[in-house]
């Protein structure tokens, strides 16, 4: 008697699918517990529900990809680049959490992500990130009148 076993050709993709489903569940749960409701139109939770649906769609796509047989060998991950991107995200979160503001956080995010992609000009990337951060801050804060986390640089504008 032969046994059929379920073989996953691409385990990392399946793991990512599970993580995406978990993020979708957390996002959905968070949206369902928002207290502020709009008196007209859509409330703030509508965007969170949309994001949760998009995470589910990504997870389903990853599951399909994980179980699809492929002749292409999966490349090894570049853990140095993953580390730089993790550091970039930690810089953004830390900057906002410690009161550094959006501009400083997005500057770090841009420069360290560029480093993850192999770019070596850190000072130039910090300048570019600062310019992009200021432009995005002005777009959201002044034009769209949406509040972004403020720090010492944001008080100048």
Q: Look at residue 37 in the predicted model and tell me its pLDDT.
A: 62
Burial of 59 (0-12, 13-18, 19+ CB in 10 A): buried
Structural domain boundaries in the chain: 11-67, 79-156
Residue-wise pLDDT tens digits, 52-103: 999 999 999 999 988 887 767 767 778 899 999 999 999 999 999 998 999 9
Helix (H) or strand (E) holding 124: helix 122-138
pLDDT band at 146 (very low <50, low <70, confident <90, very high): confident
């Amino acid at each position: 008697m032969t046994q059929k076993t379920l073989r996953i050709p691409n385990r990392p993709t399946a793991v990512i699918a599970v993580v995406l489903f978990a993020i979708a569940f957390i996002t959905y749960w968070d949206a369902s517990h928002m207290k502020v409701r709009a008196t007209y139109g859509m409330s703030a939770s509508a965007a969170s529900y949309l994001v949760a649906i998009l995470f589910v769609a990504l997870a389903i796509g990853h599951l399909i990809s994980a179980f699809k047989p492929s002749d292409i060998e999966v490349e090894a991950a570049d853990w140095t680049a993953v580390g730089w991107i993790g550091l970039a995200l930690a810089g953004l979160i830390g900057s906002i959490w410690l009161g550094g503001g959006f501009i400083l956080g997005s500057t770090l995010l841009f420069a360290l992500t560029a480093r993850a992609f192999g770019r070596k000009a850190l000072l130039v990337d910090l300048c570019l990130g600062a310019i992009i951060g200021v432009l995005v801050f002005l777009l959201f804060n002044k034009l769209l009148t949406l509040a972004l986390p403020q720090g010492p640089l944001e008080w100048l504008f």
